[in-house]
Structure 1
Amino acid sequence: MTAVGSPRFAPRWLELRERADAAARAPELLRPLRRALAGRPGPPGLTIRDLGCGTGSMARWLAVRLPGPQRWILHDHDPVLLAEAGSRMPATAADGTPVTATTERGDLTALTAADLAGTSLVTGSALLDLLTLDEIEALAAACAGAGCPVLLALSVSGRVELTPPDPLDGVLAGAFNDHQRRTEGGRGLLGPDAVAAAVTAFERHGWTVRLRSSPWRLGCAESALTAEWLRGWVGAAHAQRPALAPESTAYLGRRLEECAAGELGVTVHHTDLLALPGPPSGDGG
């Protein structure tokens, strides 16, 4: 799900998280989305752009929940991930009509309204928190200019809950959130502030934004994902605050033991965002 620069995410990590992602995404946003798509002018069929597609988990989840026919354009910087995403698309939509896909490699933050002309829907997963304020505002402007709805899932909210609790939980969470907001390659990432920035950006264009919670709830059945998440979470906190090293190393060891014993529960909070052209419809859907 690379925005710019070199590839970031290993296929194993994306494979580990796919089931948790699918369980977390907010299906209640699909009803207003389907209604908006059904009301679009033009010939039948959807053109959907998946930004930062990774191995294509968002497309695999969404394509079978929307009517077709559908043409997906999968965007990512990593050619290995793009090849996998393109090869694993479902063949049919929710109504049995065909689903096809093409891939585009490049910097998704450079997309303009002209690039999105004819697009029915822009979507992405675990993407917003990797962007800067300027990039989010440019994305909102491009989508508003093209008039295409936007569904962006699983943006980190900055909140995690671990059971049983540990005195270091809050310290590491704060350090991790600071790491998510880091400046990298001259880009000031928004991390957990990204959803609020996106809401402001889309509403500035007169769009309606709906938000729904989409938490990971990780228990015994997701122990491999939990262990990998723990290593990354603690590692990022340590990178942000090196002075935490002795305590964080011991903490990680304790938590991994609890995970292996089936004694650890983790909730990682995310937010799903649906942005639709125009003011609220008034039906609450």
Structure 2
Amino acid sequence: MRETAMTQRTGRIPAQPGPREAVEPVLTNAGSGGGAEAVPGQAGGSFLNQAVGTADAVIAGAGPVVRLGERPTVKLRDAGPDDPPRYAPEWLELREGPDAAARAHDLLDPLRIRLANLPGKAGFVIHDLGCGTGSMGRWLASRIDGAQHWILHDRDPYLLHFAAVASPRSAADGSRVTVETRRGDVGRLTPDALAGASLVTASALLDVLTREEIDTLAAACTGAGCPALLTLSVAGRVELTPSHPMDEEIAEAFNAHQRRDGLLGPDAVTAACEAFSERGATVRLHPSPWRLGPAESELTAQWLRGWVGAAVEERPELKERAEPYLRERLEACAAGELRVLVHHTDLLALSRPTGGGS
């Protein structure tokens, strides 16, 4: 996926609105540092629009492809074989509104109760794993009372930059919110890295992890005695209205693609429940589906391209029938006639406190 024209010309990430303090210690056992630096920018407007301008190409992320049957890329720009995938901030911004609408508010009350019962806390320390552009913080910080210090984890310094400069400034009760960034791999997270944590959060992360990585995450959270709010994990079910005879076939092929290379895809929530429960945590689940209609047609179109593209990559024999299917679905989307329900699940794991607190 191409970089923005400005980044290609200058080699620098453009300034963003809302300067924030950001420091970047290295995550324990997580590799090298380097990464986000808060750069003052002009206030007003979308932080992403100011950063990258209007995207004129397919948006990278969970679905878009350049041509049907080509692997749906999550890469923002070319990288070496050992580099992690890089999600395009355009895609992450596009999904931020539907993500916020989908997350399970019913899990917030038990979370608030746990946080309110933390002993001797002047404020909360919240670790956001795989933070992307920081949408979880923008959603959650304003729903929790009390001073908060967010520690944003991601492997991509480009995304850490966006997350740091567009982070929230105040909690639900007006208390101060501060932020720092840590570049590192959540698959190497340790309880020591979470020492003093009040909460661990992540969004759309579990389904791109392996069973070993989920075990590592559960061990780190329970070892540190802190709760974990893990939202928007794919559930493997999609409902399109009006329906089409190929819907189920595409969905099955997509789910198979999600499970490639040892990733858990739609099996991730079950694996996470087991991993946390085996370590003594109380786990609560709640559905958090995307509800995409005419108002979300741009996101729906991008999601469709990637959904079908991944299915075709997994089962190339689908390509001949999938091309007219995708074309028909995109036309219905553009006409405001398509509605999509993409099922996700949110998980709250309440670990046993250690040392008299979380």
Q: What TM-score, normalized to structure 2? A: 0.75
Cα distance in 1 between the residues matched to 2:113 and 2:257: 38
Please state if 1:235 is matched with 2:309. Answer: yes
Question: Shift of the alpha carbon at 1:278?
Answer: 4.1
Distance 2:336 2:107 in 1: 33
1:129 pairs with 190, 193, 207, which one? Answer: 207
Any runs of at least 4 consecutive aligned residues in structure 1 with deviations exceeding 6 A, and if so which? none
Kindly tell me the number of residue pairs found equivalent between the two proteins.
Answer: 274
CA displacement 1:3-31 (0-9 Å, x = unmatched)? x9423311111011000000000011010
Q: Displacement of 1:277 after TM fit? A: 2.0
Q: Is the 8 A contact 2:226 2:352 kept in 1?
A: no
Aligned mates of 2:92, 2:302 — CA distance in 1: 11
Would the aligned equivalents of 1:5 and 1:77 in 2 still touch at CA under 8 Å?
A: no
> What amino acid is aligned across from residue 276 of structure 1 in structure 2?
L
- Residue deviations 1:35-94 (CA, integer Å, cap 9, x gap): 001111233200000000000001100000011210000011111111000001111001
The aligned runs of 1:14-25 (5 Å cut-off) are 14-25=92-103
Shift of 1:253: 0.3
Give the aligned partner of residue 86 of structure 1: 164
Letter in 2 for 1:153: T
Report if aligned partners of 1:156, 1:269 keep a CA contact under 8 Å in 2.
Answer: yes
Three-state SS of the structure 1 residue aligned to 2:92 is helix
Given that 2:258 and 2:264 are in contact with CA atoms closer than 8 Å, whether structure 1 keeps it comes out as yes
Q: Distance in 2 between matches of 1:92 and 1:263?
A: 40
1:205 is aligned to 2:283: no
Aligned to 1:165: 243
Partner of residue 340, structure 2: 266
Q: Contact 2:229–2:349 (CA<8 Å) still a contact in 1?
A: yes
Q: Distance in 1 between matches of 2:204 and 2:108?
A: 18
Quick one: which of 274, 277, 281 aligns to 2:351?
277
Letter in 2 for 1:247: R
Q: Structure 1 residue aligned with 2:188, among 110, 120, 124?
A: 110
Relative to total residues, which structure has the larger strand share, 1 or 2? 1
| Distance in structure 2 (CA, Å) of the matches to 1:159 and 1:5 | 30
List per-residue Cα deviations over 1:134-186 (Å, max 9, x = no partner): 11011101110000100000000000000110110000000000000001xxx
AA aligned to 2:260 is: R
SS in 1 for 2:201: strand
- The 3-state SS of whatever aligns with 2:143 is coil
Consecutive unaligned residues of structure 1, counting only runs of 5 or more, are 280-285
Aligned match of 1:248? 322
Contact 1:131 1:189 in 2 (8 A): yes
Q: How does 1:170-209 map to 2 (within 5 A)?
A: 170-183=248-261, 188-209=262-283
CA distance in 2: counterparts of 1:213 and 1:265, whole angstroms: 18
* Kept after mapping to 2: 8 A contact 1:215/1:271: yes
SS in 1 for 2:336: coil
Deviation at 1:221, TM superposition (A): 0.3
Question: Is this contact kept in 2: 1:11–1:81, CA < 8 A?
Answer: yes
Larger Rg: 2
Identity, % of aligned positions: 65
Unaligned runs of 5+ in 2: 1-60, 62-73, 75-81, 354-358
Q: In structure 1, how many angstroms separate the alpha carbons of the residues matched to 2:106 and 2:202?
A: 17
Cα distance in 2, alignment partners of residues 90 and 139 from structure 1: 25
Q: Distance in 2 between matches of 1:200 and 1:7?
A: 27
C-alpha distance in structure 2 between counterparts of 1:89 and 1:8, whole Å: 20
Equivalent in 226, 233, 237 of residue 300 of structure 2: 226
- Is 1:52 the counterpart of 2:126? The answer is no
Secondary structure at 1:43's aligned position in 2?
coil
Measure, in 1, the Cα distance between the counterparts of 2:157 and 2:163: 10
Answer whether contact 2:126 2:151 (CA < 8 A) is retained.
Answer: yes
What is the CA RMSD across the aligned residues, in angstroms? Answer: 1.4
2:217 and 2:183 map into 1 onto residues whose CA distance is 17
8 Å CA contact 1:215, 1:268 repeated in 2? yes
- What TM-score does the superposition give when structure 1 sets the normalisation length? 0.94
Give yes or no for contact 2:127–2:150 (8 Å, CA) kept in 1: yes
